[in-house]
Each structure stands twice: as C-alpha cells, then as structure tokens.
Structure 1
C-alpha cells in the first residue's frame, strides 16, 4: 500500500498505524504476562529452595565448576555451531526428565507393584501376543470369526491364568533380573535399533545386547553407590541407557554434531565436580525444603517433617488410570468421527458438543463423577479407579479434538494412494493414517494429562482424601494427589510454617512435573513438524 490509509473493496478501511499499534499492544501484553509469571515462580522457588541460605563458598564453587564453563562453552557453540548446541542441551534435558520419570517408575515397583507380579503379567501378554500372531498366520485356513474368537480366547486365558502360575512358582529370579527382563528388554530393543542406525542385523543385535547388559548391571552399580537393585535397575533402564542410546545414535547420524557431547559433558561434569568439591571443602548448601526427605516422607502435622511421597505415588497411579481410560476411547472416537462417520446433522451436533465439553469447568466433571460413579453405580468414594475415571472424563474431549486434528493433518493424497494399491479403509487407517498421525495424537494426550495432573476440584467432589500416610496398592484403595496435598497444607493446616515451607515446596515439585510433561509434548511436536 502506497498511502497511509487506503480503501480496498470488500475490506473497508485498512490502517497501517492501527495495525502497528495493535501489534505492539499484543507484544506488551505478552511481555507483561511473562514477567508477572516469572516473578511469581521466582518468589515461590525462593521460598522452597532458599538459595541465599547457602555458604558463599558453595555459590563460588559451583560458579567456577558449572556456571562459567557452561556459559563459555555454550556461548561458543551457540555462535559457531547452533545444531551441536541444541543437541548437547537435548542430551542434558533428556537425562534430567527421564531421571525424574524413572524415580516415579521406581516408586511403583518399590511400594505398589511387586516385580514378580509385573513380570508375570508382562510374560502373559507376551504369550498372548505370540498366540495372536500365530492365529493370524492361519488367515487363509480359518474364517475371520474363528480367528477373532481364537485370538480373544488366547488373550483372556493368558491374562487370567498365566500370572497366577508364574507368581506361584517356588523359586524365581531376583527383582533386578525380573525388571531387566520385563522393563529392560523392550527399552533395549528400541535403544539398540536407534543406536545401530543402518548397520546390519548382527550389529543391531549386538547393540541390543549391550543395552540389555547395561540395564542388567543395575544390581551391581546400585550396590556400589548404596542404592537397592530395584531403583538402580529402573534408573538405568528408563534414564541412563535411553539417553546414552540417543546420544550415540544421533552422533552416528550427524557426526558433525559431536561437539554437543562436549557441551553436555561440561554441564554434567561440572555438576559432579562441584558436588564433590563442596562436600570435601565443607561448604553448606541451601536449606531447601525440596530435598530427599520431602520427596520420600509422608504427611506430618509439622511443616519441617511434612512430605509429598504418598501424593506423588497417588498422582502417578491416577495418571496411569487416566491414560488407560482416555487414550483408547479418545483415539477411537476421533478415528470414527474423522474417518467413518458421515457428514450429517448428528455428527455436526456431536462435533459442537465435544468442543463445548472441552471448555466445561473441572468442578462440573467432579459432580458428574460423583453422580454417575458414586451415587448411581454405588462405588466407594475417593478411590484410584473413580478418581482416574473422573479425570478421564475431564480430558476426553481434549484427547478427541487433538487426535482429530492430528488425523486431519495427514494428506488425503496418502489415503488415495493406499486405496489405489488395493488397501481397504481399515488397512489404510492402520498402516498409513495412524502411524503418520501418532506423534500429534501423543502430543495432545500428554498435554491433556498435564492438565489432569494439576486438577483439584474433581478429586474434592468425588471425596478423595486430602491427606494419606501410605501409597495406594490397588484400584479400590483411597488415593490423594499432589495438588490435593498442597490444598490441604494451605487450608486444613494453614499456618506460617506451612505457607513458607511445605506449600512452596509442593508447588515447585508439581510445576517441575508439569513442565517436564509439557517439554516432552513440545519435543514430539517439533520433531513431527520437522519430519513433515
């Protein structure tokens, strides 16, 4: 446009000045929100971690061993090799986030599910999978109905009878070996295949064997550092081995990014050297409320002894239940509405209602769970199953909407090409559409779970207890959660010690979990967009 103001047909008056002002207003509002949120987070983190209570020598030691080397190497790589800088940061971030989730998985095997029980069900599912594959090999000899019935019978018989037979054995391997076989094997398969890149079959098998052997060393490595075999094996399987496999595979694919490993080594090495140095020199660190005792202790009437352990375990069990209920229902509904349902008044009515349900306040879903599951079905209040089902109803519309958007992002030309090769609609969806849309579906599901893990109102409405002193051990057990525990500290135990110690510490832990889940979703989204 050559003039300051012009009149374009069908668009009315267009003003460049108004557009500029509007843009800067949006920028100012965004910056104000970011600054306000940052100040709030710093205020809460300062109360929880109290960094100024550390000795000056502690700060100086980590400044020399961690902060300055990281800034120097990071600035150099950022200017000369941004790809290596991002790779090094991704390695450190992957290790940090996976270690946190490894702690949650270890909690399950230490206090909730015995390793032999877990191994029994994994073994049963493997037998069921083998049976189903064997039945599918007979597709030309048996009709569809016979194969369907046989496959269902194989799954039911395996799940119902095999676990009992395995757990009744008089002798079985140690917990570390059981977790290595049941948890480490699938992870080693993925890590080995990624690390081996395009090598031959023998080298891939060798890489898988190396990864599995590394997981199996958990019992020995744990004994050296004073950790029991179960958490040591889980941390190796969920955090260290996958991070190492990612680093090796990425460097083999992009050899020019090896400098990123040096950046990661500077961060990790500086942390270890700094920790050893302050311990040797006797410098006291921050008097943080977020410490090992806070994460592994139960609730107490005094703020100094209060812990978040039962609430963390309850949140993990709730999220597992929510994912198990909402993911198949949400994805199934999205596939039907997007790929099978006709475009008529009924489907349009359903679309509008799903969009409206995504914006309904969470307390309404709490009332729905109370009315349906507790009052109508007569189930006990505040259990893992009822809490998970209520939160699953809360995020189900979000999962459906995100899954539909992911399915829509698949080009229609890919469907037509599949049909042109003689594939049926189901074969096209299974082999073409779903694999292409899966990263987007997974991203939306993780973001929805991030909303569910921070909800308090639905759990209050279904009668979940504010305070528990032990972890739930089954689906019918009473359950608490991290936001519910923080709410109890801020209301039922309202006092200055709780406001200044336990509440900020609980908020920091909850925010770390939320940010970690969102970071996984962001990484998946970026990778999906870069692959398109």
Structure 2
C-alpha cells in the first residue's frame, strides 16, 4: 500500500475538518480573471464603436427617441423573459440573432454570385457535379472497389466533368458553357440554387410534421416567393439576384426556426422580441424624420460597405477588401479542410501504432503540434518561397494569399479533427466491424458523422483566425489598396486586415479614428459571427449526444 510523508494537517484542519480556503481562493481567482478578460474586451469594443459611430454628434432628442421606441421596449421585454419566461428568452435571442447571421451569410453569397461565379457558370457547375456523382454511384454499385481504385476513379470522373485536361480534353462544364443557348441568368439561378434549397426546406418540414402536404407547401412557398421576387424585385429597386439570395439564405432558415418554435409550442412568446424591435425601428425612423432630429455622424454605413478606398475619408470604403477576404476564405476552406481532415483520419484510423513506423507517426504528430505555434510571418515567408518563387505564381493574387494562409491554419485543423475523431467511442467502431463493415465503411458511416460537429467547430474557429491575419499577406505581396474588386482567383486583391493596416499608416486623423475604426468594427463583427456559429454548432450537437 502506497504511503505519503505529507502531513494530514496540510489538507485538513486540526479538528479533522476539510479546509475550504484554498478552493474559495482558487474560485475567486478564476472568477476575477474571467471578469477582467470580459471587461477588457468590452472596453475595446466600446472604444472602437465610439470612434466608428461618434455618438456625441447626435442630438439629445434623437437619443431620447431611440431609447423610448427601441431600447426601452426591448430591455423591458428582456427583463420579463429573464424573470418569468427563460425558455421564451432563449427563443427571443435566437430569433434576433439568426436573421443577423443569415444576412451576413447572404452578403457573402451575393459576393460569390457577383464576382466569382456567374449564374450560367453555377448552372454548369451543378450539372457537371450531378453527372460526376451519378457516375461514381454507378461505379460503386457495379463493383466492389478498394480505396485506391475509388480515389483513382473519382479523380478521373471529376477531372472529365468539372476540371478537364488543360489544352487536351475540355471538361463537361466547359462544353456546357460553350453551348450557343443557355437559360436566362435568373432561371439558371432559380433552378440550380433556389429549387434545391426549397426541396431541402420542404423535406425538413415534411420530416418534422410527418406530412407530405406540409412539405410540399413549404417547398412551394420558398420557390414561389423567390420567383415572384425575381420579377417584382427590380420594380421596387432590388436586383433579382439579391432577392433570390435573401429569400433562400435569410428567409428559409428564419422561417424554419419560426415553424419549429410554433410547432413545439414552448417559448412562442419569445418571437415577439424581433417584432417589437422592428416596429420600434420603424416608429423611431418616422418620428426622427418628421421632427428633424439629427442622428450621429457615423462612419460605418451602406456607402462604406459598398465603396472602394478613397483619399477623402468620408468617401472611403471597404468593399474591394471585403470581396477579397471572401474569395481568400473560399480558397483557404477548399485547400485546408480536405487536406487537414484527411491527414487527421489517416493519423487516427490508419497510421501504425507500434514499432519504427509508430515512432515516426508520433514524431509527425509532435511536429504538427509544434507547427500550430509557429509565428504567422514564418508561414508568409514559406508561402512566398513555395508559391511565388518555386510555383512562379504572381505575387498578391487571391490564390497565393489563400494557399499561404491555408498553410497557417492547416495544423490547427488537423489537431482539432484528430481530437474530434479520437472522441468517438471505440465501441461504435467494434460494433461496425462486428457486422462486417470494412475500415473505410466504418470511417465513412460511423466515425466521420459522429466527429463532424467537432471537426466543423475547429474548422470555423481556424477560418476565423485566417480571415484576420495580416503578416502572411504582407509577405506574399498583397496590395495595400485595391480600388477594383478581383474578378477571379488569379486577380490582384486586398483583404480586410491588409486594408486596415494601410489605413493605420495614413496621417489624416479622420482615417485613423473614423475609417479605421469602422473597418475594425466590420472585421470584428465577421469574426464574432464565425466564432458564434462554431459555439452554436458545438452546443447543438452536445445536446443531441
């Protein structure tokens, strides 16, 4: 039996009672550290918001009107939820945050259709992808193939349908684009973007309500609302692309959430908060416009979000840098996610664990963990050497910036994916093997679905870091200012952190205190929304487990 020389009085008092002083001190220290961190973040956000909004320039009557019509009812309703209806409060805050997050996502989708993929290109991409998927399904049903054969056949099918062989064999997508007649742009987007989302919404409602009629109504309403808006939108000053995106990306998730709350019947009163806020904003706008109250002289407005850089502070905008950040994140996600998850699957499910090979695998994992802490400027130098010097790509283009930042977050994705895969119980693997499943079938149907929430959470957090990095972009020659948004992944671009860095170097106080603060606020909102999405995904799947 093991013994210890430590006196009992170290942990117990002289009367034999357990001392709680150390625990109380530890608890107070942790609470103090948490409050200090939250306070510092709050002070920073307030400081930036004051510079971006300049609340002191508004009339006191304007603030009184906002407090009476918007803030007052919202605070009163929040207090009521907190005291008497906690479940309704959860519904209220979700119903308030979901449209905001969906609107930000809709902005990103609009940028994709405006600058990256045209409606006709999207149509041909979807058709080619469906053909590739059908061909792979036919191959899988025709014969039992190994992993290597699946990879080879999949690469060949994707190459022939989507990519092609440059200079030799055009892809199916290229052949479709070269057709002399294609559907109208609005019909292309309606059929290949809106209809699939409508089908998904209908399927979700059908499964929840166990009614084919309810599913058909939900899907039909989605497609009809988008189609009507595509025709009537330009009449009221809204482009058909914007209307289609808002209907699907904002309207569908908000409608599904409202339907779920109404169907459950628990916390339905929480849906009143966004309605009260919207009504308050309308009443406030009418009163302010009628009375002529002057609002704050804000720097962050619609013109700032849709304009390019200008030497005049009041005319400067962040739109080209915003487009560049969206395109860079697309490259980062496409490059880092499959490689990182594939590496994690191999290290956890296929890599040897014993002998010399096992020692090599352990050495690789140690180096991956060390790479996660390497300064970002080192990855910038690596990207410069690898993609510009060796790959002979043009400095400062989207593909170079995206691939460089992909190297930065790749170790983070691998580590987070490994942890998520490792968290899957071995009993589930053994059960799959017991019914005759192969290792690949077990990984695909058991391990990955169970680990995907953790993988997605880690990936989103890594992408949040990627969108705020500046040092790697400086190393690969990303431009300080770009007045024209990039039209392809091989075009010159600027990203939001790079644009903010250039604004910080300008001597005009208006740039430093106004324009820079507005840009920082936009970047912080994007980061907070990405991190908030990761937290919601984690909490949702933890409750499901």
How far 1:145 moved relative to its partner? 8.3
Which structure 1 residue ranges, 4+ long, deviate > 4 Å from structure 2?
142-153
What CA distance in whole angstroms lies between the structure 1 residues aligned with 2:62 and 2:272? 25
Q: Which moved more, 1:359-368 or 1:153-162?
A: 153-162
Give 3-state SS (helix, strand or coil) of 1:215's partner.
helix
> 1:213 is matched with which residue?
224
Deviations 1:416-468 (A, max 9, x none): 21112211111111111111111111111000000000000000011111110
Deviations 1:274-318 (A, max 9, x none): 334433443332211001111111111121111101100000000
> 2:332 is matched with which residue?
322
The TM-score, its normalising length taken from structure 2, stands at 0.90
Q: In the alignment, is residue 433 of structure 1 matched against residue 447 of structure 2? A: yes
How far 1:92 moved relative to its partner? 1.6
What CA distance in whole angstroms lies between the structure 2 residues aligned with 1:308 and 1:144? 46
How far 1:179 moved relative to its partner? 2.0
Report matched runs for 1:69-468 at 5 Å: 69-139=73-143, 152-159=155-162, 160=164, 161-196=171-206, 197-220=208-231, 222-252=233-263, 254-343=264-353, 344-468=358-482
> 2:50 is matched with which residue?
46
| Alpha-carbon distance change, 277 to 154 in structure 1, aligned in 2, over 3 angstroms | farther
What CA distance in whole angstroms lies between the structure 1 residues aligned with 2:184 and 2:295? 38
Q: In the alignment, is residue 526 of structure 1 matched against residue 529 of structure 2? A: no
Report matched runs for 1:21-32 at 5 Å: 21-32=25-36
What CA distance in whole angstroms lies between the structure 1 residues aligned with 2:155 and 2:372? 35
What CA distance in whole angstroms lies between the structure 1 residues aligned with 2:54 and 2:245? 31
What CA distance in whole angstroms lies between the structure 2 residues aligned with 1:326 and 1:272? 44
| Alpha-carbon distance change, 318 to 143 in structure 1, aligned in 2, over 3 angstroms | closer
> 2:167 is matched with which residue?
none
In the alignment, is the contact (CA less than 8 A) between 2:205 and 2:214 conserved in 1? Answer: no
| Alpha-carbon distance change, 76 to 398 in structure 1, aligned in 2, over 3 angstroms | same
Please list every run of 5 or more consecutive structure 1 residues that lacks an aligned counterpart in the other structure.
9-13
Please list every run of 5 or more consecutive structure 2 residues that lacks an aligned counterpart in the other structure.
1-6, 13-17, 165-170
In the alignment, is the contact (CA less than 8 A) between 1:385 and 1:476 conserved in 2? Answer: yes
| Alpha-carbon distance change, 186 to 275 in structure 1, aligned in 2, over 3 angstroms | farther
What CA distance in whole angstroms lies between the structure 2 residues aligned with 1:107 and 1:309? 10
How far 1:118 moved relative to its partner? 1.8
How far 1:360 moved relative to its partner? 0.8
What CA distance in whole angstroms lies between the structure 2 residues aligned with 1:281 and 1:333? 63
How far 1:405 moved relative to its partner? 1.0
Q: CA RMSD in A?
A: 2.3
Deviations 1:333-378 (A, max 9, x none): 1111111112221111111111111111111110111111112222
| Alpha-carbon distance change, 350 to 67 in structure 1, aligned in 2, over 3 angstroms | same
> 1:482 is matched with which residue?
496
In the alignment, is the contact (CA less than 8 A) between 1:115 and 1:178 conserved in 2? Answer: yes
> 2:520 is matched with which residue?
507
How far 1:393 moved relative to its partner? 0.5
| Alpha-carbon distance change, 498 to 477 in structure 1, aligned in 2, over 3 angstroms | same
| Partner of residue 469 from structure 1, selected from 480, 483, 505 | 483
How far 1:240 moved relative to its partner? 1.9
| Alpha-carbon distance change, 251 to 5 in structure 1, aligned in 2, over 3 angstroms | farther
In the alignment, is the contact (CA less than 8 A) between 2:115 and 2:488 conserved in 1? Answer: no
How far 1:71 moved relative to its partner? 1.7
Q: Which moved more, 1:368-377 or 1:262-271?
A: 262-271
In the alignment, is the contact (CA less than 8 A) between 1:55 and 1:283 conserved in 2? Answer: yes
| Alpha-carbon distance change, 415 to 113 in structure 1, aligned in 2, over 3 angstroms | same
What CA distance in whole angstroms lies between the structure 2 residues aligned with 1:225 and 1:320? 32
What CA distance in whole angstroms lies between the structure 1 residues aligned with 2:480 and 2:528? 24
What CA distance in whole angstroms lies between the structure 1 residues aligned with 2:151 and 2:396? 38
What CA distance in whole angstroms lies between the structure 2 residues aligned with 1:225 and 1:58? 29
Count of matched residue pairs = 522
Give 3-state SS (helix, strand or coil) of 1:489's partner.
helix
How far 1:218 moved relative to its partner? 3.1
In the alignment, is the contact (CA less than 8 A) between 1:5 and 1:16 conserved in 2? Answer: no
How far 1:134 moved relative to its partner? 3.0
